[in-house]
Structure 1
Amino acid sequence: MSSTSSTRPSITAIVAATAQNGIGLNGGLPWRLPGEMKYFARVTTGENPSEAPEQQNTVIMGRKTWESIPSKFRPLKGRRNLVISSKGVDVSNSPNTTSHTSLPSALSSLSSKSSRTFLIGGSQLYTACLTSSPPMVDRVLLTRILSPDYQCDAFLEEFTSHSNSENGKKVWKKSTHEELQDWLGFEVDEENEEKGTKYRYEMWVLDQ
């Protein structure tokens, strides 16, 4: 890790992806999994969310992800919402929400009192953060959709097999389920089935 990376906030990417790394279709999710969405909300909000906005967890997203959230759920409550758009996006009517033209700008706005910071999409931001050297995220909470094989038109960069080109060492390693639960602070089933869809909760961290 470079010296600059040690001073930036720790960022966790959270994403659901098929075995072929599909993450979206027509600007939304191709599946409807209430249990998985509750997991997402619980993880990104935190177990004991602060009432003070500057001390809440932060979610960072691109414009398309922001616009894909139904208006009645936007902004995501109990979390500070940062929206990234090179052309800007109007969030003036959304409390606890700011718009930024770049990821560095968004990160510079974070308070030292902020709790955890999550990257929640979309594919361009995931790719930028996972493929940078070093990666701009240091943890990935991956919900792996095992079956069925959903049709998708947006995809997650394949990161699990990435290696350092200089030494061939893998960049990412998969944590145990116990390590995932320790980080979450609550228990969760590893394998799940909902509405005929099978999925698994995983955590990947940078292999220091």
Structure 2
Amino acid sequence: MTQRERMLAGLLYNAADQELHKARIRAKHLTYLYNTCDPADMERRASIMKELIGEQAEHTWIEAPFYCDYGCNIVFGDNFYSNVHLTILDCAKVIFGHDVMIGPNVDIYTAGHPVHPETRCTEWEYAREVRIGDRVWIGGRSVINPGVTIGNDCVIASGSVVTKDVPDGVIVGGNPAKVIRKITEEDKKYYFKKLPYDRGV
């Protein structure tokens, strides 16, 4: 197996591998172009993102600046929106469902290192896939750790550090993040705390 194949298979791999090094440099170059592009030049922004990530789902929008390790290991569903400073360490796949919203300064990590200092000081590391379901909102400054799956219809409270899988239809928060409560039909009545959901229509 190549080091890239080992990386994507969740095995230990050597991050100093030349193929992987070139792929990371490519991603750094393209994110630099994206992050310094005129915000009004929608066509140029879309072209750079397509080159970085590949073919996109419908209505994908990422506010600059955006950072990733490879880009090609990220899969977006339809109607994806991220605010500024999204960082995705996509050494393994990061797969988003549809209608996902991400607040500012969110970090999603697939990369990990051995715990023991002697093995950690080598150039060997590992990566574990992250999956985020449909209709998920991830609040600002949250961290999603390697190997985590977030279910559908969830809210990740701002500042959360998610270290374990999250079931469908819940609000989680804290460090480490824990389930705060289920999302219920009662939540349809309000847009913030107990303020009624009234759009004036």
Q: Looking at both structures, which has the greater relative contact order when contacts are Cα pairs under 8 Å and sequence separation is at least 6?
A: 1
TM-score range, shorter chain: under 0.3
TM-score scaled by length of structure 1: 0.22
Determine which structure has more spread, i.e. the larger CA radius of gyration.
Answer: 2
